[in-house]
Chain A
Amino acid sequence: MIEERFDAIVIGAGMSGNAAAYTLASRGLKVLQLERGEYSGSKNVQGAIMYASMLEKIIPDFREDAPLERHLIEQRFWMMNDRSVTAMQYRSDDFNEDKPNRYTIIRSQFDKWFSSKVKEAGAIVLAETTVTELMQDAYGKVIGVRVDREGGKIMADVVVIAEGVNGLIGQRAGLRDAPKPDQVALAVKEMHFLPSDVIESRFNIKGDEGVVIEAIGTLSQGMTGMGFIYTNKESISLGIGCLISDFAKTRISPAKLIEDFKAHPAVAPLIAGSEVKEYAAHMIPEGGYKAIPQLYGDGWVVVGDAAQFNNAVHREGSNLAMTTGRLAAEAIFQIKSRRDPMTKENLALYKKMVDDSFVMRDLKKYKDMPALLHTNSQNFFKTYPELVAKAMENFVRVDGTPKVEKEKATFKAWRAARGIRGLVGDVVKLARAWN
């Protein structure tokens, strides 16, 4: 029997895999997409916020039928200690536009929709099919995949590896190392169901408007981490994630973290009376620019989380996944159109396209940020939030103490905690990492 041959095989049906498979299939390539879960989205976990402009580049009229929850009109940044929240908030009616910029989504529904588009574009999508290994020829060129079904040897000119953050296939084939514990976060998340009118009154929104809250502070108990609260139509996604190396070091349980977060006096009223119908946990790549592995080789490219594409500072993961999936597909299409082989040399085009895009430029900008936040996590996630809370309380509470003395007390507290050198040093380091 002659084995069936495809132009491209895409491993995985998350954001990057769907973007790649859709782009390849809609350009007329013969595409096979393999997903180990029951359907696209069954294994995928995200907060989740979806950025419109990156999806527009793939499916311009997605708003017509994609399952979107709420468009975001307000972002709140919270710095928390155990009793208080110091917040910055940006809300703008400009976000109530014809084509809103950001949406909350529920991945299991959104991915199903995305996958239906992939099928419509002409790709063959096989769920419940796990790729067990990449097939390589004597020279190491990837020539296909083996799957966990009888007769499961399938050949392709190129394999797009979109297998997610802990991708075992690429690791097993020696294409990249397993992510290190300080390069991945573990996030836990719950879905709290509430009637839409309750959500709207609690968050001061109407219709399809939505709010994002991102929180740092003592909620991560000194670990590098962040909490989030996103409004969906009839539910609230709430979660917290911290570096796996920090979890390992502190032995704090993620379940305890999320319980404490939910019990915080500023959070509890938002979710009061809700019913938790889903909970999930997933890893998030946090290594940034310096953790990005080799992106291409003979007969293969790697996209999305599997390649550590995630902007930890701006909480952008899925749009980097979509964009790298699309760019990989466009590169493959160009090479194919020239009737060139899928060699390492030719597939370098993908890396070049990623380098030229916002993806690599953003990640490069923040290349020192992970190291800074990871090594000084106590300062940034515990000491400073406490100091800020104390300063705010000194500023706000009126009790007859002269203001001068209050300011002195605040300054003294800051100096005692970090020292003048420490304070200046942290500012300089942060500024450097930002640039």
Chain B
Amino acid sequence: MHIVVCIKQVPDSAQIRVHPVTNTIMRQGVPTIINPYDLFALEEALRLRDKFGGEVTVLTMGPPMAEDSLRRALTYGADRAVLLTDRFFAGSDTLATSFALATAIARISEVYGKPEIVFTGKQTIDGDTAQVGPGIAKRLDLLQLTYVSKIGKLDLDGGSIEVERRAEGGVQVLKTRLPVLITMLEGTNDMRRGSMKDALRAARAEVVKWGAKDAGIEDMTKCGLRGSPTVVKRVFAPGGRTDKAEFITFTDKTPIEFGDELVEAIFKRQPAVEDDLIKHAHEFAAY
């Protein structure tokens, strides 16, 4: 069995800094990680391989430094890593990205064997669109199972797979034919710790590097900025709140004085609360 897992190297969103003066995102020096959702897909793929045999190929598109995330995937136990990197890919939106990845997967099928399953995470943490997985499925004419929470029965001979899919209001149990594209939900498994053997192999492995031509892409107008109708107009951090909290000091006051002052301060700022309270007080009195 051959499984292809698409991963993406993303900035660690927990460590992104905003420039204190210009309020723009400081990309420099932000550590990168494998998109956390992709790890659930990768672990699921590794489990299937361990059970049924075969190979797992990880694929990413990105700058040369994206090799780090591929090597990490190899450390977890993936068998092969393919890096799709070319200046033509710079500035790709989800349309151009799914085109490039789909073409590369078609090429992978020719070189390393046709995959029964293509995995992606449900979405990335930097783009959050959840469009690339379905985009790949459409272009490769694969059936697609999105937001999968559990892989059920896989019947390689019969060519079918059964999964649980989280949907609004419940869980769907779905069965479909192979080959299939699956986007995995978070929390479905725990990523393994690669063995020493895998770690050493990963450190030495050659990552396969393909430019656009190597991946079999002929129409460059579908790549990168040119192939991307989405335009990012501005990236910014929302400004802080302008209204400041008012502080009331407790020192040298009796609790009653402090309470009076507190209530007064609230009424001063929210006269409606005071009116409301008085109204209800009358009602209570009448009662």
List A residues at the B interface (Cβ < 8 Å): 4, 38-39, 106, 108-109, 124-126, 128-129, 147-154, 193-195, 274-275, 277
Q: How far is the CB of B259 from chain A (nearest CB, A)?
A: 32
Contacts of A149 in B (CB 8 A): 193-196, 199
Mark contacts of B21-33 with chain A using CB atoms, 8 A cut-off: 1 yes-contact digit, 0 otherwise. 1000000010100
Cα–Cα, bound, A239→B112 (Å): 55
Q: In the complex, what residues of B have CB within 8 A of residue A151's CB?
A: 195-197
Given contacts A109-B29, A124-B204, contact A277 B196 (CB under 8 A): no
The answer to whether A124 and B196 touch across the interface, beta carbons within 8 angstroms, is: no
Find out whether the CB atom of A4 lies under 8 angstroms from the CB atom of B200: yes
* Cβ contact within 8 Å between A152 and B196: yes
Give the distance in Å from the alpha carbon of A124 to the alpha carbon of B199 in the complex.
10
The 10 residue pairs across chains A and B that have the minimum distance between CB atoms: A150-B195, A152-B196, A275-B20, A149-B196, A151-B196, A124-B203, A151-B195, A195-B21, A126-B199, A151-B197
Q: A150-B195, A153-B196 are in contact. List 17 more A-B contacts (CB 8 A).
A: A4-B200, A39-B31, A106-B29, A109-B29, A124-B204, A126-B199, A129-B199, A147-B196, A148-B193, A149-B193, A149-B195, A150-B193, A150-B197, A151-B195, A151-B196, A193-B17, A193-B20
Task: Provide the B194-219 mask, 1 if CB < 8 A to any CB of A, else 0.
Answer: 11110110011000000000000000
Q: Which residues of B contact A (CB under 8 A)?
A: 17, 20-21, 29, 31, 75, 193-197, 199-200, 203-204
Across the interface, do B29 and A126 meet the contact criterion of CB distance under 8 Å? no
Residues of chain A within 8 A (CB-CB) of B194 are: 149
Cα of A341 to Cα of B122 in the assembled complex, Å: 55
Query: Which residues of chain A have C-beta atoms less than 8 A from B200's C-beta?
Result: 4, 124, 126
Whole-angstrom CA separation of A4 from B203 in the bound complex: 14
Bound CA span A117–B271, Å: 67
Residue on A nearest B28 in the bound complex, by CB: A109
Per the bound structure, the CA–CA distance linking A152 and B204 in Å amounts to: 17
**Smallest CB-CB separation from B203: which chain A residue?**
A124
Q: How far is the CA of A195 from the CA of B20 in the complex (A)?
A: 8
A274 surroundings in chain B (CB, below 8 A):
20
Q: Are A154 and B196 in contact (CB under 8 A)?
A: yes
Question: Which of A126, A147, A195 is in CB contact (< 8 Å) with B203?
Answer: A126
- List residues of chain A with CB within 8 A of the CB of B29: 106, 108-109
In the complex, the chain B residue whose C-beta lies closest to that of A38 is B31
**CB closest chain-B residue, reference A108:** B29
Judge whether A150 and B21 touch: CB under 8 Å. no
Chain B residues near A152 (CB-CB < 8 A)? 195-196
The complex places the Cα of A108 from the Cα of B30 at a distance, in Å, of 11
Closest A residue to B17 by CB, please name it.
Answer: A277
**A-B contact list, 25 entries, CB within 8 Å:** A39-B31, A106-B29, A108-B29, A124-B200, A124-B204, A125-B203, A126-B199, A126-B200, A128-B75, A129-B196, A129-B199, A147-B196, A148-B193, A149-B196, A149-B199, A150-B195, A150-B197, A151-B195, A151-B196, A153-B196, A194-B20, A195-B21, A274-B20, A275-B20, A277-B17
User: Which B residues lie within 8 Å of A153 (CB)?
Assistant: 196
Instruction: Return chain A residues, CB-CB under 8 Å to B199.
Output: 126, 129, 149
CA distance in complex: A154, B197 (Å): 10
Smallest CB–CB gap between A190 and chain B, Å? Answer: 14
A153 CB to closest chain B CB (Å) equals 8
Residues of B within 8 A of A194 (CB): 20
The smallest beta-carbon distance between A202 and chain B, in angstroms, is 15
Q: Shortest distance in angstroms between B282's beta carbon and chain A's nearest beta carbon?
A: 51
Question: Residue on A with the closest CB to B33?
Answer: A38
CB distance from A24 to the nearest CB of B (A): 16
* Bound Cα distance A106, B193 (Å): 30
* Chain A residue contacts of B31, Cβ below 8 A: 38-39
**Which of B20, B75, B196, B203 lies in contact with A150, CB distance below 8 A?**
B196
In the bound assembly, the distance between CA atoms of A39 and B195 in angstroms comes to 18
Q: In the complex the two chains form, what is the Cα distance from A125 to B203 in whole Å?
A: 7
* Bound form: Cα–Cα A129–B75 in Å: 11
Bound-state Cα–Cα, A333 to B199, Å: 26
Listed residue (A109, A128, A194) with the most chain B CB atoms within 10 angstroms of its CB: A128
Set of chain A residues within 8 Å of B17, measured between Cβ atoms = 193, 277
B27 CB to closest chain A CB (Å) equals 14
User: What residues of A have a CB within 8 angstroms of the CB of B197 in the complex?
Assistant: 150-151
Contacts of B203 in A (CB 8 A): 124-126
